[in-house]
Amino acid sequence: MGVFPTIAPSQPAVRQALQVASSGRASYWDALLIATAGEASCAEDLADGDVLFGGRVINPFAGTVPSSAAEALLSDE
């Protein structure tokens, strides 16, 4: 699990999620996941190449071979 660390939600992420949820744009848990992922520059269930809260989405399974960005993230170097 060292390659993929666990990220805890921050207070700003919780506040942002509460704002988004109270506006009706997303559920609290979805908003918290997206806000926390954005702070950590990662995301789930989004299109490859999308940018969310300053983080670029990389789908390592897109295409027939992993993208160079996915290879860089998964390399031991």
pLDDT in tens, 13-24: 999 999 989 998
| Within-domain flag for 1 | no
Domain extent for 40: 11-74
For the chain, state the CA radius of gyration: 14
Is pTM beyond 0.75? Reply is no
Taking only the tens place, the pLDDT of each residue in 24-44 is 888 899 889 888 988 887 755
| Within-domain flag for 26 | yes
Q: With pLDDT > 70 as the criterion, what percentage of the chain qualifies?
A: 83
| Within-domain flag for 16 | yes
| Within-domain flag for 49 | yes
How many domains are contained in the chain? Answer: 1
Supply the pLDDT for residue 16.
93
Tell me the mean pLDDT in the region 2-20: 89
What is the rounded distance in angstroms from the CA atom of residue 3 to the CA atom of residue 5?
6
| Within-domain flag for 3 | no
Structure tokens at 39: 């702070």
Outline where 1-77 has alpha helix (H). Answer: 11-23, 28-39, 68-74
CB of 29 closer than 8 Å to CB of 36: no
